[in-house]
Amino acid sequence: MSDTTRPMTTRDLFAMKRAGTRIVSLTAYDALMARMLDSSGVDVILVGDSVNQVVAGRSTTLSATLDQMIYHGRAVQGAVHRALVVVDLPFLSYQVTIEDAIRNAGRVMQATGAPAVKLEGGVTMAPTIRALVDRGIPVMGHVGLTPQSVHALGGYRVQGREAAAAERLMADARAVEEAGAFSVVLELVPAPLAARVTKELTIPTIGIGAGADCDGQVLVLPDMLGMNPGFAVKFLKRYADLDGIIRAAVSAFGEDVRSGKYPGQEHSFE
């Protein structure tokens, strides 16, 4: 693990890849959770546009807005001392023109204080990534299953299983690296293909549903904590059952209120 007395940088991620040290990443959308992740040694905190699903209750990430990402990004960055915070650029904030991408990515960094942004896409988005990097905006790429293109991809399904699709994914990953991204997320990619990408690239790969050979792993925090029991996919490992714990606590609180047990004398002021 890198030095815990100073903030993580993109250079640290490169050093971790070279040393074979796995990168730990989780999503966060608020100061409370971000503080917990940071103090627990998480290396990268992603303020994902998944907030639009797990917090706002939407069916996809597509309706996430720039203001929404800035609000949550500011909350997370303000609570973090060590982890590298990366904020997702939402749908249509960077795909229309390169000028839009520069303006919106710059606004995210200015308004949140976060040191990096993430965007989806490979070969087609390489010129945009290069334009951002050339202007001093660190970019994390994202290839494979790209949730902002879920309808074009025909749903949430593994990408790169056929030979031609695997070569396209390889080309996307190479393009992201060549454009100057400091790392790339590989989502829903067959494990052997993800291993091949990880071996070929010099930038770190962060896997989600991409097998064990990526340089790091990321999960959506509420999913990992068991707060979203209706969401069940093969790659997800639940490390807690907070859904059950929270429901039990709320039920106990309700019973105490209805019976008059709470508040007791010890919870009241004379």
Domains of the chain: 10-239 (3.20.20.60), 241-270 (no CATH)
Alpha helices in 29-159, H assignment, sequence order: 31-39, 51-54, 66-77, 98-112, 126-134
Categorize the per-residue pLDDT at 4 as very low, low, confident or very high, splitting at 50, 70 and 90: low
Predicted structure pTM score: 0.96
Kindly state the average pLDDT of the residues 22-31.
98
Q: Where are the beta strands (DSSP E) in 50-167?
A: 84-88, 116-118, 139-144
Kindly state the average pLDDT of the residues 36-48.
98
pLDDT of residue 3: 58
- Using DSSP, state whether 71 is helix, strand or coil: helix
Residue from 99, 120, 187, 270 carrying the catalytic annotation: 187
pLDDT of residue 1: 45
Q: How far apart are the first and last CA of the chain?
A: 51
Q: Which helix (H) or strand (E) holds 214?
A: none
Is 266 part of the annotated catalytic residue set? no
pLDDT of residue 268: 96
Comparing 9 with 4, the larger pLDDT belongs to 9
Q: 190: which residues sit within 8 A by CB, 6+ positions away?
A: 158, 160, 161, 166, 210, 211
Which residues partner with 186 through β-bridges? 143, 207
What's the mean pLDDT when you consider all of the chain?
Answer: 97
- Using DSSP, state whether 134 is helix, strand or coil: helix
- Using DSSP, state whether 96 is helix, strand or coil: coil
Model pLDDT for residues 96-118, shown as the tens digit of each residue? 999 999 999 999 999 999 999 99
